[in-house]
Amino acid sequence: MHLLELIGVTKRFGGLVAINKIDMKVNEGEFLGVVGPNGSGKTTLFNLINGVYFPDEGKILFNGKDITRLAPYRRAPLGIGRTFQIPRPFLSATVLENVAVGAMFGRMGSDLNIDGAFEIADQVINRLNFQNLRDKIASNLTPIEKKMMEIARALAMKPLLLLMDEAMAGMHPGSINEMVSFLKQVAVEEKIAVVSMVEHIMRAVVEMAERVVVLHQGSIIVDAPTKDALTDPKVIEVYLGKASEE
């Protein structure tokens, strides 16, 4: 059984078909890259998996359960976590509180009380090595720090599937390497499947993903192991001029 499965999923906005009969699978603990130029439907795809939108056609299964029309707040406890491209911190709360909220309502949420949630938050923050930011109010964080917190918060949800939306955007190359290797470590330990969505930073995809799915105008044009996918002529054509961006 696949962890996540999309079967024939279609999403329209008015006359525009954003996602066109997509079939996609993600396996437990897998690292998947979703790649595609602007407008190819990546964000919509994530929103469908998250529950922000419901598909017009098709089914979405998570661990065999049909979540196609499940409300977004019900998907988090099942184990779906997400980071946003532009971080969405709870600005008036501290970093610790932000991360704790992730734990409180995530997969382990119903087993945790407040103190338990804060403990988990502390653990995750220590793991990611930014204890110094622990009590800082989120509105005072730099953009990079906000991104770190975003990831921490998602991890605190103890997800089985982590959807990462342009997580590396805005980071400078040195940190990307660090971040990638670190994420891989955590994901392997916690058996989290990571779906990383990128438009620009190809290196993050190459280093991290075992398999890549390439989106173009709402359809999957390639679904193959990373090396093969990124050298596929169809992909290069779609990305004309962008393929070697580093």
Partner 1 sequence: MKQKYYPYIPVLLAYIVLFLIGKGVSGMWQLMSMLFFYCALGQAFNIFLGMTGYVDFGYVAFLGVGTYGMAITISKLSHIQGYGVLIIIAGFFLSMFMATLLSLAVGAVALRLRGAYFAIATIGVNEGFRFLIEGAKIWNGSEGIIFMSDLNRVIGSKTASSLCTFWADVFVVIIALLAAFVTLIYMRSKIGYALMALREDEDAAKVMGINVTKYKIIAFITSACFAGLLGASAWALKTPYVFPPEVFEIHYTVEAIIIVLLGGAGTLLGPIVGGLVYGLSKYYLSVIIPGFQLLIFAPIVIIIIILFPEGIIGMIKKGTKGKWIKRYIIY
Q: Which residues bind partner 1 (CB under 8 A)?
A: 50-52, 71-77, 82, 84, 88-93, 97, 100-102, 104-106, 109, 114, 135, 137, 153, 157
Asked if 184 and 31 count as a contact pair (C-beta separation under 8 A), the reply is yes
Closest separation in Å from C-beta 139 to partner 1: 9
Given the complex with partner 1, which of 80 and 179 has the nearer CB atom? Answer: 80
Q: Which residues are within 8 A (CB) of 26 and not within 5 positions of it... i.e. 6 or more apart? A: 2, 3, 4, 5, 32, 161, 193, 195
Nearest CA among 105, 60, 82 for reference residue 192: 82
Closest separation in Å from C-beta 163 to partner 1: 10
Q: How far apart are CA 140 and CA 126, in angstroms?
A: 20
**What interhelical angle do 143-156 and 95-105 show, nearest 10?**
30
- CA torsion 104-27-87-21 (nearest 10°) is -120
Query: For the chain, how many residues are written?
Result: 246
Given the complex with partner 1, which of 109 and 218 has the nearer CB atom? Answer: 109
Given the complex with partner 1, which of 76 and 220 has the nearer CB atom? Answer: 76
Q: How far apart are CA 71 and CA 77, in angstroms?
A: 11
Given the complex with partner 1, which of 35 and 157 has the nearer CB atom? Answer: 157
Coil vs helix vs strand at 163: strand
Closest separation in Å from C-beta 209 to partner 1: 23
Closest separation in Å from C-beta 172 to partner 1: 26
Given the complex with partner 1, which of 97 and 145 has the nearer CB atom? Answer: 97
Given the complex with partner 1, which of 164 and 205 has the nearer CB atom? Answer: 164
The alpha helices in 128-195, defined as continuous H runs, are: 143-156, 173-190
Given the complex with partner 1, which of 71 and 240 has the nearer CB atom? Answer: 71
Q: DSSP assignment of 71-84, as one string? A: -HHHHTTTTEEEE-
Closest separation in Å from C-beta 93 to partner 1: 6
Closest separation in Å from C-beta 104 to partner 1: 6
Closest separation in Å from C-beta 91 to partner 1: 6
Nearest CA among 133, 120, 184, 128 for reference residue 151: 128
